[in-house]
Structure 1
Amino acid sequence: MHPTHVPIRLATGAYILNSGLNKLKADEQGQEQMHGWASSVYPMFKDMKAGDFTKLLGYGEIGVGALLLLPTVPSAIAGGALAAFGAGLTGMYLKTPGMTESDGVRPTTEGTSLAKDVWLVGAGLTLASQSFLSGTKHAAQAVAGGVSNAAGAVTGGVAGVAGSVASGVTGAVHSGSSGASKGVKGLLESAHDAREELADALADLAESMLKR
């Protein structure tokens, strides 16, 4: 249970749990009233005995209240149960004659006490949606972390390959430069020797011409 869910779960859970316990203690008249009202809106309950219906409703409310109060129950489950319970009560409010104005939504004076059940729907949907979004966020963070790790591994591999290639190129360039340097040096030495030989040949030619 997220700490921010504690107030709403305690308030709604305690309210519904107490309501369920009170229904189990209802007398025969109270049971007849609840059964008559519910069966007029939801015909599926007409064939049930008033006492059986009241017990079923009471145990149902106790179950919803317990889901909300138990911290081990995920808010998505507790919120879904609360929203479903509130929707049932809201349906009774909307379908009961005299509870709403002519527009079928706004409550009359008699329906005000029932219209508040829509709050249970809102509270349940809030718990369920926040829990869902929180789970989605954690999943997205996990996926993002996996992608980041994979990208880091790929980047490291590419950097290693690039480093190896650069090292090879550097070695090749160094080796080529050394060979080129030796080649140029040898060429210069050959040119120097040729120049000396040419100078000697010119000196010999001049000397022979002077002797003539």
Structure 2
Amino acid sequence: MRIFARPHQLPPRLAAGVFFLHSGLGKIDADPQTAAFLHGTAAKAYPFLRRLAPETFTRVLSRCEVALGMALLTPVVPSLLAGAGLAGFSAGLVGLYLRTPGLRREGSLRPTDQGLSMAKDVWLLGIGLGLVAEELAHR
């Protein structure tokens, strides 16, 4: 496994890493209403999350986003590892988009106005899969 990210991998890693770091840091001190909203949204798509308290879910979500952002921003973290983490997390976000009623047009993958902000997470999945595919191709 290559230890250092290749130079051309740095821009997508930087873009995704800053995005996740910002998102995670913004949730660290989430108020109870925000925690309830985030938890409720996630639990509708992934019912097993109902077992967690909203504050616990939001704290774990925040820490995961910060850790993923830091992994992407740190060039010594192998791109295979960072890309796999990004692909896994963003697959969950795309799943949230696909499972939440009202975010897609009837019988289509195309987003509604309410779903547009969630549908754009597909670019994160593309970056993660691209990093993984490139590293696996260069073995």
* TM-score band, normalised by shorter chain: over 0.9
Structure with more of its chain in helix, by fraction:
1
Instruction: Choose which of 93, 96, 101 in structure 2 pairs with 1:97.
Output: 101
Unaligned regions of 5+ residues in structure 1, if any?
136-212
Q: Which runs of 4+ in 1 moved over 4 A?
A: none
Rounded Cα–Cα distance in structure 2 between residues aligned with 1:25 and 1:132: 38
SS of the residue corresponding to residue 101 of structure 1 reads: coil
TM-superposed CA distance for 1:104, in Å, is: 3.9
Q: Please, which runs of 5 or more residues in structure 2 have no aligned partner?
A: none
SS at match of 2:52: coil
Separation of aligned partners in 2, 1:32 and 1:20? 16
State the one-letter code of the partner of 1:133. A
Equivalent residue for 1:10, pick from 4, 11, 14: 14
**Could you report, residue by residue, the CA deviation over 1:34-75 in whole angstroms, capped at 9, with x for unpaired residues?**
011111111111121110000011111111111111111111
Which of 8, 22, 27 aligns to 2:26? It is 22
Specify the structure having the higher radius of gyration (Cα).
Answer: 1
Aligned to 1:45: 49
User: When the two structures are aligned, how many residues end up with a matched partner?
Assistant: 135
User: TM-score under structure 1 normalisation?
Assistant: 0.62
CA contact (8 A) 1:94 1:104 kept: no
Counterpart position of 2:90: 86
**Residue of structure 2 in register with 1:73 after alignment:** 77
Supply the RMSD in Å over aligned alpha carbons.
0.9
Offset at residue 102 of structure 1 (A): 1.2
